[in-house]
Amino acid sequence: MCGIIGYNGFRDADKVLIKGLKRLEYRGYDSAGICVIDKKLKIYKDTGEISKLEKNIPSFKGDIGIGHTRWATHGAVNKINAHPQLSDDKKIAVIHNGIIENFKILKEDLKNKGIKFKSQTDTEVIANLIKYNYKGNLENAVYSSIKKIKGSYAIAAVCEDEPDKIVGARNESPLIIGVGDNENFLASDITAILKFTNRVIYLNDGEMCVIAKDEVTVFDEKKKKLDRQEQMINWNFKDAEKSGFPHFMLKEIYDQPDTINQVLRGRVSEINRNIEFNENVEDLLKNGVDSINIVACGTSYYSGLVAKYHIEQFTKTPVIVEFSSEYRYFGTKNKNSLVIGITQSGETADTLGALREAKKSGCRTLVVTNVTGSTATRISDAYILTQSGPEIGVAATKTFTAQILVLFLIALKIGVNKNEIGPGELYKHILDLKELSRIVREVLENSNKILDIAYLLKNAKSIFYIGRGVNYPLALEGALKLKEISYIHAEGFAAGELKHGPFALLTKITPVIAIVTKDSTYDKMITSIGEVKARGPQVISIADEDDIEIEKYADFVIRFPSNTRHLSFIPIIVILQLIAYHVADMKHCSIDKPRNLAKSVTVE
Ligand code: F6R
C-alpha cells in the first residue's frame, strides 16, 4: 500500500527522500510527495510516478523531511489528496499509511472547533488533530492524538516549530527505524533505507518514536521509554537493483536458481539425511499435528493450495486452505489445529487478522514469510523465512517459488515425524532437491521458445490454464500472473471441471495452456486436452522433455527437464512466470507496477 520515509541527518533530505520513494513505489503509486523543513515546511506533491515528481520538484534546502507514495483509500487521486497533509495553520505535516475508521466523527468535531479542511483524506484529520493537541511538544501532541484515533496507521509527523525531529507512530501498519551514524530514518519498508543503512529497530503496535539526528527514542503505549536493540538486516542493496534486466520481475524470475539454494541452505542436509528447521519450528511440526489450516491471500493462497497436495500426500494429515479474509471471520478455529500463515510481506492485513484470530482461539501458528522482523513473524509462535531477498516487482515470482519449496520441506518433515516417510524415501527427496537449482537454471537458459508462445498469446482476449492435482493450483497462479501484468483475462481450472461449465466459454480463439506431468494424472489430462481440442482452441502444453506422446495432442509444447519427479511444480511455475512476463512485455505493459495493484496490502 502506501510507502513512508522520513530522514533526519546531514544529507540533502529531498534527495534521500526521493531515493527512498523510488524504492517504495512498488507499495502504491497513484501520487507522491515530500516535505522538507527549511525554516518553513516546504512541500511538493504530484500525481503519477515518482520519476515525474523528481523531474519537477524544486530543490529544497534542508536535512530533515518526510516523503510518501500513495495508494488511495480515502479520496480521489489528485494533488490535494496526496501526502504530506498539512494542518490548517501549515505548521504540522503528516504522512500516513492505513485507514482511520473514526475519521468522519473526528473531522466533524474539528470542523466545529473552527478547523478548515482542504482534502478528502483521513490523513488531514490526523494533521489537524495533532495541531489541536499541540502545546509546544510534538511527541506529546502525537501521543494525545493517537489515543483518539481508531483504525490502522503508520504515521510520520514534522512540525515547523521543532525542526529537529520526526515523530512516528504505528498500529497495524508497518513502520521501522533505520539507524545510521549522525543520521536516522523512518520507513514503512526496509528497501527504502537499505542504500543508507541495514541497522533497524522494529516498532510494535501502539508504539511511538522520536527520530533526532543523533538519537532515536522509542515509547510504549503509555509513553514510557523503551530500550530497543537494533537488528542487522542481511539483505544487500544490490539485491534491490535491476542488475541490467529491463524489469525487476524478469530479474526476480532469473534470481530463482539462487533463491532455491537459499531456501535449501541449512535446511536440507545431505550428510545428516534430514530436513532441519530451528527449534521453535521443529517443536510445532512435531507435536500432534492432527490437522492443518493454511491462511493466505492471492499468490500466497495458491502456495497454500500447492502445499495442501504435498502435505496430504506425504503425511495423511487433512489440510484446509482458506483466504485469510474468509478464515478471519468464518473459518473453523480448531485449537488442535496448526495454522500456517503464508505471506511474502509479513504485513498483509487480512493474513495478520486471520493469524490473530487463530491465536485467540488457542491454535498454534506458524508463518512462512520473506521479511525478517515483519509483523507476521512477531505475532506467530514460530516462523520460517523464505530468504529470497527483496522482491520489488509487484507480481510475486521468486517468493512464490520459495514459499512452495519451504512448504514442501514442511510436508516432508511432518511426513518423517509421522513415520509416513521412511529414511530411504527421504534421502531420495533430498537428492532430488539438490538438483533443483540446476534444473531451474536449465529452464531459464532454454526459454527462447516461450517468446514464440508469448507472441501467439499476446492478442488473446481470454486464456484458460488447466491442470490436475498439484498442477491445478499452478494453473491458478499462472493465470493470476498473466492477468495481473498483461491485463488479459485468464482463468485457471481443474482440468476435470471444464465440462461442468467453463466449456461454455471455449471458442476457437481461447488458447488453453495445459500442464501435463508424467504421473497418475497423465491419461486424464490427455483426455481433457482432447475434449478441449474438439471445441476448436489451440492447446499449448507444458510437458516433460521425455514425453513424446504429447506432440500428438497439443499444438505447441514447452518442455521442462525430465526426472524431476515430485519437484516438477518448480520448473513449471518458472515457465508460467516467463509466459506472463513475455506476453506483458510484448504488450508494453507496466510490468513491475501493474495498474491498481500494490505489493503489500496493509489495509483490510
Ligand atoms: C500477486 C501477489 C499478491 C500477493 C497477495 C498477498 O502476484 O503478489 O496476490 O500474493 O497480496 O501478499 P503477501 O504474500 O505479502 O501476504
For 73-85, how does the pLDDT look when each residue is reduced to its tens digit (9 = 90+)? Answer: 777 888 999 999 9
Query: How many angstroms does the Cα of residue 299 sit away from the middle of ligand 1?
Result: 5
Per-residue pLDDT reduced to its tens digit, 390-420? 899 999 999 999 999 999 999 999 999 999 9
**Ligand 1 pocket mutation pick from 301, 374, 601 by most atoms within 8 angstroms of CB:** 601
From the centroid of its chain, how far is CA 529? 34
345: Cβ below 6 Å to ligand 1?
yes
**Ligand 1 center to 525 CA (angstroms):** 29
Average pLDDT over the chain reads 94
Residue 377 in contact with ligand 1 by CB distance below 6 A: no
370 lines ligand 1 (CB under 6 A): no
CB 399 near ligand 1, within 6 Å? no
Task: Name every residue whose Cβ is closer than 8 Å to that of residue 329 and which is 6 or more positions away in sequence.
Answer: none
Query: Average of pLDDT values for 10-25?
Result: 93
d(CA 327, CA 357): 9
Q: Could you tell me which residue, 4 or 74, shows the higher pLDDT? A: 4
Q: Are 594 and 480 in contact (CB under 8 A)?
A: no
CB 344 less than 6 A from any atom of ligand 1: yes
- 300 near 273, Cβ under 8 Å? no
Average pLDDT over residues 226-243: 83
**pLDDT-above-90 percentage for the chain:** 82
Return the best residue to mutate from 305, 306, 348 for the ligand 1 pocket (most ligand atoms within 8 A of CB): 348
The two beta strands, 199-202 and 231-232, are: antiparallel
512-516 sheet: strands from edge to edge:
489-494, 462-467, 512-516, 539-544, 556-560
Give CA–CA dist 108/493, Å, rounded. 50
Cis bond upstream, residue 473 (ω within 30) = no
> Helix (H, G, I), strand (E, B), or coil: what is residue 135?
coil
Give the Å distance between the CA of 104 and the centre of ligand 1.
30
Phi/psi region, residue 502 (left: phi>0; alpha: psi -120 to 50; beta: rest), is: alpha
Write out the three cell numbers for 492.
Answer: 485457471
Summarised one tens digit per residue, pLDDT across range 563-601 is 888 999 999 999 999 999 999 999 999 999 888 887 777
pLDDT computed for residue 238 by the predictor: 75
* CB of 395 sitting under 6 A from ligand 1: yes
CA of 108 to the centre of ligand 1 (A): 36
Residue 298 CA: nearest ligand 1 atom is: 9
Ligand 1 midpoint to CA 400 (Å): 9
A 10 A CB-CB count for 562 gives 14
Helix/strand/coil (H/E/C) assignment for every residue in 439-482: HHHHHHHCCHHHHHHHHHHCCCCEEEEEECCCHHHHHHHHHHHH
Task: Please determine, for residue 239, whether its predicted confidence score (pLDDT) is greater than 80.
Answer: no
pLDDT at 412: 97
Specify whether the CB–CB gap between 183 and 196 falls below 8 A.
Answer: yes
Q: Which of 2, 35, 297, 589 is catalytic?
A: 2
Cell numbers 529491463: residue: 246
> Whose alpha carbon is nearest atom 9 of ligand 1?
298
pLDDT confidence tier of residue 30, bands split at 50, 70 and 90: confident
Q: With 0-12 CB in 10 A as exposed, 13-18 as middle and 19+ as buried, what is 499?
A: exposed
pLDDT in tens, 162-212: 999 999 999 988 899 999 999 999 999 888 999 999 999 999 889 999 999
Spell out the domains of the chain, with CATH numbers in brackets: 3-233 (3.60.20.10), 241-442 (3.40.50.10490), 446-597 (3.40.50.10490)
Marked catalytic residue, from 22, 413, 593, 599 = 599
Least confident of 107-116, 500-509, 519-528: 500-509
Percent of the chain with pLDDT over 70: 100
**Relative to the CA of 395, which ligand 1 atom is closest?**
7
3-state SS assignment for residue 89: coil
Q: What is the pLDDT of residue 242?
A: 82
Assess whether 2 carries a catalytic annotation: yes
pLDDT in the model for residue 289: 86
Evaluate: CB of 594 within 6 angstroms of ligand 1: no
SS3 55: helix
Q: Which residue among 345, 351, 602 has the greatest number of ligand 1 atoms within 8 angstroms of its CB, and so is best to mutate?
A: 345
Beta-carbon contacts of 463 under 8 Å, excluding residues fewer than 6 positions away, are: 457, 479, 482, 488, 489, 490, 491, 510, 511, 512, 513
**What sign for the dihedral angle of Cα 248, 99, 172, 229?**
positive
Instruction: Give nearest CA residue, ligand 1 atom 8.
Output: 396
Check whether 1 has a pLDDT greater than 70: no
Distance CA 23, CA 235 (A): 14
Cα of 247 vs centre of ligand 1, distance in Å, is 18
Give the C-alpha separation, 169 to 151, whole Å: 13
Q: What is the pLDDT of residue 170?
A: 95
Span from the CA of 102 to the centroid of ligand 1 (angstroms): 28
304 close to ligand 1 (CB < 6 Angstrom): no
**End-to-end C-alpha distance for the chain, whole angstroms:** 11
Comparing 290 with 464, which gets the higher pLDDT?
464
| Residue of 300, 303, 370, 392 to test ligand 1 pocket, by largest number of atoms within 8 Å of CB | 300
Q: What angle do CA 198, 202, 206 make, to 5 degrees?
A: 160
HEC string of 233-269?
CCCCHHHHCCCCCCCHHHHHHHCHHHHHHHHHCCCEE
In contact, 106 and 129? CB cutoff 8 Å: yes
Q: Is 600 in the pocket of ligand 1 (CB under 6 A)?
A: yes
Q: What is the mean pLDDT of residues 16-37?
A: 88
Q: How far, in Å, from the CA of 135 to the mean position of ligand 1?
A: 43
Alpha carbon of 538 to ligand 1 centroid (Å):
31
Q: At what angle do helices 398-417 and 569-586 cross, to 10 degrees?
A: 170
Residue 531 in this model has a pLDDT that exceeds 70: yes
Distance CA(452)–CA(586), nearest Å, equals: 11
**Any atom of ligand 1 within 6 Å of the Cβ of 343:** yes
C-alpha neighbours within 13 Å on the C-beta side of residue 120: 8
**In contact, 581 and 450? CB cutoff 8 Å:** no
pLDDT confidence bin for 28, thresholds 50/70/90: low
Q: What count of residues does the chain have?
A: 604
Q: Give me the mean pLDDT over the 238-261 stretch.
A: 89
The pLDDT of residue 183: 98
DSSP state of 59: P
Q: What is the pTM of this model?
A: 0.84
Using the mean position of ligand 1's atoms as its centre, give its distance from the Cα of residue 344 in Å.
Answer: 7
- The answer to whether the CB of 289 falls within 8 A of the CB of 334 is no
Q: Of 189, 299, 328, which is best to mutate to test ligand 1, by the most ligand atoms within 8 angstroms of its C-beta?
A: 299
Mean pLDDT of 246-255: 95
Instruction: Please work out whether the CB of residue 297 comes within 6 Å of at least one atom of ligand 1.
Output: yes
Residue nearest to atom 16 of ligand 1 (CA): 343
Q: Which of 387, 367, 370 is nearest to 379 (CA)?
A: 367
Name the residue with the closest Cα to ligand 1, atom 11. Answer: 298
Whether ligand 1 lies within 6 angstroms of the CB of 601 is answered as yes
CB of 300 shorter than 6 A to ligand 1: yes
Q: What is the pLDDT of residues 308-352, one digit of tens each?
A: 999 999 999 999 999 999 999 997 888 889 999 999 999 999 999
Distance from residue 370's CA to the centre of ligand 1 (Å): 12
